[in-house]
Structure 1
Amino acid sequence: MATQKLMLLTTCSILLFSLSTIATEKAASKPMGPVFIFGDSTVDVGTNNHLKNCTAKANHPYYGIDYTRSKPTGRFSNGLNSADTIVTLLGGYKRSPPPFLALLKNCSNFTAKLLHGVNFASGGSGLYKETGKDTFGTVVSLEEQIQQFAMVQGNITALLGDSKGQLLLQDSIYIISIGSNDIMSYVFTHHVTPELFIANLTTTYAIHLKNLYSLGARKFGLISVPPIGCCPIARSYSPVGDCAKEPNDLASAFYTPFESLLQNLSSTLEGFKYSLGNAYNMTMNIIEKHFGFKDVKAACCGNHTQQGISDCKKGGYLCPNRDDYLFWDAYHPSQAAAKLAADALVFGEDPEFVTPINFSTLRTA
């Protein structure tokens, strides 16, 4: 059995879809409030680079090989990740807003830069405050990310005034991709029944969303947990490379109460709007039908085997055409997969993959 460290950084959010669901609309052009991004390694654009005691980092080759000048930025990708590709299609961005901790280091223009959005996501983190910390040292949990956003909210309202500041925050979109690490941590502990774990996880998510709402958030673009048992690292436990059943079952089971929670919040909290991407359905659809990917099982960066489970680092195996691979490393999707994900989330119309509206509609709501 592999160690918990091997499994916990999963968050292999593949977020894929049937190509027939992509609409042909162009990116939104109307000026909107900024974008604020929360979550784990699927949307981390360099937060963990600034954490001294964190071992969950992607600031070394071959990460970023397809980024500008092949720069490893801290994204767990060969290039751009889902945070980048989503905001690009929403309009007004070339890539994700910078990490909060990077902005904090440059205090001279801190407040003004906040008006263009912030990324708080931290690889290895989860809905629970303790998730990832025993394994990776310092990571920024969702609770702590929201505390950082409270500082941002305070600075924005101080700069613009309370009324204008609140209007800006209410017109902003809040993208959240998290939960996979919590599930993988549970797989190794089983401290409660699966049913109670899912209920507790949903309750915890509700607390976080209400806290963001109290700080002015109204438009939530949410990405559910994908079939993390189909990551290359999870497949490696099977003699024939099958997906791991337990984490997939938990990811699937979490979707229904999560959707019910959002429906409840939208009916009880004035102005609460949401778009929910069903990462589980999107991912399984592409794994079953491929849609242009030549390999939907192995990692591009790592061992040159079906599983591809070794570390992604300079000197190791690197596939020659990253766009052929669904997975970049043992846990995370490739840049090509992230682009497909963004199209589905921002412009998709199939309720099997995004509901009740897509991210583009949410943006202008």
Structure 2
Amino acid sequence: MGMGYELAVKQALVVSIVLGVAVAGVEPSKKMMRLRQVPAMYVFGDSTLDVGNNNYLPGEGVPRANKPYYGIDLPGSGKPTGRFSNGYNTADFVAKTLGFNKSPLAYFVLKAHDKLIPSAITRGVSYASAGSGILDSTNAGGNIPLSQQVRLFQSTKAEMDATVGPGAVTSLLTRSFFLLGVGSNDLFVFTTELAKQNRSATQSDIAVLYGSLISNYSAAITELYELGARKLGIINVGPVGCVPRVRVLNATGGCADGMNQLAAGFDAALESLLAGLAAKLPGMAYSLADSFGLAARTDQLAAGFVNADSACCGGGRLGAEADCLPGATLCADRDRFLFWDRVHPSQRAAMLSAQAYYDGPAQFTKPINFKQLAQAQE
């Protein structure tokens, strides 16, 4: 293709940054252009946000949601895409509240189809990876850890700069939404290792863990800021002691209080970290979504869930003794189950969470909600 074509593409992409609308592929409707509140969205985190990156990772131990019954309720296809859900996940619903039709596509999907830079400029990219943690050591070798996700974004930004120029990219990134949700896997691995040693965590163990997590999370957020991120929507760690995978280890099927206390302590440290970073990083705005508080304070029956402790797709006690795979036991009404599989929320649970973070009750987001963050001015 000639230089004239390349120049035209470059000019079109620059215009899209200025207007905050997509130009690559099918043009968005006028309604979508009115509704979109940010020009792009970039996603970092674990399986609650992954939309297909892990499908491209090699190795037997990589967690993948590329088989039925994953995606059974996904609008338009009903097929597995790599989302650990019966349909859309939390990243999709956060994107919807911001005016997109769903989460931006996974980094490796875009790379495979040579669409990384057009998407990065006009819509965003998801770097999230199932099994990943704040620490590189968490489930090492089976995922893209948070630090590597940030490095992939760094390389993406370098290509964006080369395509449309650093000034246009800076303008884009300062107005875009950066969604982060990670940390649960670090806590799962920590407690699993202690169980293998047949001992309980000491205060010293927990202090070392929190120190490592906060240091690494701080480094990742600071690097994103230095690369141009200014609006960060961060989801804390929920009550991991209440997922079916953990409940089934308890003879009564109850929550593991120790794990929940571990999560609550980390969440408090994360809240302090963000307040400190915002005070020293000029222009940084953030919204901390309290998934822990949302789960703890929601009347699940009133929210329409008839089952809040078992997996919809799985097998055995609480549906938590087997993975969600072809041939698994599948509940009939998936919208009435809080959990889709033995770890992850159902599509409806993800939707209600995203709506709460966007403009729900004030106690579930600090210091502002996702809607206020998206609309915040530099």
In structure 2, do the counterparts of structure 1 residues 287 and 49 end up closer, same or farther at CA, with 3 Å as the change threshold? farther
Query: Are 2:178 and 1:174 aligned?
Result: yes
Q: Which residue pairs with 1:75 in the alignment?
A: 83
Cα shift at 1:288 = 6.2
In structure 2, do the counterparts of structure 1 residues 276 and 27 end up closer, same or farther at CA, with 3 Å as the change threshold? farther
Which of the pair has the greater relative contact order for Cα pairs under 8 Å at 6+ separation? 1
Which of 221, 235, 254 is residue 223 of structure 1 equivalent to?
Answer: 235
Preserved contact between residue 135 and residue 212 of structure 2 (Cα < 8 Å): no
TM-score, normalized by length of structure 2? 0.85
Q: Residue type of the partner of 1:146?
A: V
Larger Rg: 2
In structure 2, do the counterparts of structure 1 residues 27 and 362 end up closer, same or farther at CA, with 3 Å as the change threshold? farther
Cα shift at 1:28 = 7.7
Cα shift at 1:245 = 1.8
Write out aligned runs for 1:142-181 (5 A): 142-181=146-185
How far apart are the structure 1 equivalents of 2:301 and 2:213? 31
Preserved contact between residue 27 and residue 89 of structure 1 (Cα < 8 Å): no
Preserved contact between residue 28 and residue 90 of structure 1 (Cα < 8 Å): no
Cα shift at 1:69 = 2.5
Q: Which residue pairs with 2:226 in the alignment?
A: 214
Q: Report SS of the residue matched to 1:189.
A: helix
Q: CA RMSD in A?
A: 1.8
Q: Deviation per CA, 1:47-74, whole angstroms, max 9, x where unpaired?
A: 0000111430000001111013210111
Which of 85, 89, 102 is residue 109 of structure 2 equivalent to?
Answer: 102
Cα shift at 1:196 = 2.4
Cα shift at 1:289 = 5.6
Which of 123, 126, 133 is residue 126 of structure 1 equivalent to?
Answer: 133
Q: Report SS of the residue matched to 1:70.
A: coil
TM-score, normalized by length of structure 1? 0.88
Which of 37, 41, 53 is residue 47 of structure 2 equivalent to?
Answer: 41
How far apart are the structure 1 equivalents of 2:208 and 2:224? 25
Query: Are 2:362 and 1:356 aligned?
Result: no
How far apart are the structure 2 equivalents of 1:240 and 1:183? 22
Q: Report SS of the residue matched to 1:131.
A: coil
Q: Deviation per CA, 1:254-285, whole angstroms, max 9, x where unpaired?
A: 11111111111111100011000111111122
Q: Report SS of the residue matched to 1:69.
A: coil
Preserved contact between residue 362 and residue 369 of structure 2 (Cα < 8 Å): no
Preserved contact between residue 275 and residue 359 of structure 1 (Cα < 8 Å): yes
Preserved contact between residue 299 and residue 309 of structure 1 (Cα < 8 Å): no
In structure 2, do the counterparts of structure 1 residues 30 and 184 end up closer, same or farther at CA, with 3 Å as the change threshold? closer
Preserved contact between residue 312 and residue 319 of structure 2 (Cα < 8 Å): no
Which of 27, 32, 38 is residue 32 of structure 1 equivalent to?
Answer: 38
Query: Are 2:307 and 1:295 aligned?
Result: yes
In structure 2, do the counterparts of structure 1 residues 251 and 126 end up closer, same or farther at CA, with 3 Å as the change threshold? same
Q: Residue type of the partner of 2:70?
A: Y
Number of aligned residue pairs: 334
In structure 2, do the counterparts of structure 1 residues 275 and 138 end up closer, same or farther at CA, with 3 Å as the change threshold? same
Q: Report SS of the residue matched to 1:293.
A: coil
Q: Deviation per CA, 1:279-326, whole angstroms, max 9, x where unpaired?
A: 111112236665210000011001264353311111110000000100
Write out aligned runs for 1:54-65 (5 A): 54-65=61-72
Cα shift at 1:29 = 2.1
Calculate percent identity across the aligned residue pairs: 37
Q: Which residue pairs with 1:277 in the alignment?
A: 289
How far apart are the structure 2 equivalents of 1:272 and 1:284? 29
Q: Which deviates more from structure 2 when the two are superposed, residues 279-288 or residues 148-157? A: 279-288
Note the residue ranges of structure 2 that are not aligned, 5 or more in a row. Answer: 1-31, 195-200
Q: Residue type of the partner of 1:277?
A: A
Preserved contact between residue 27 and residue 90 of structure 1 (Cα < 8 Å): no
Query: Are 2:185 and 1:185 aligned?
Result: no
Query: Are 2:96 and 1:84 aligned?
Result: no
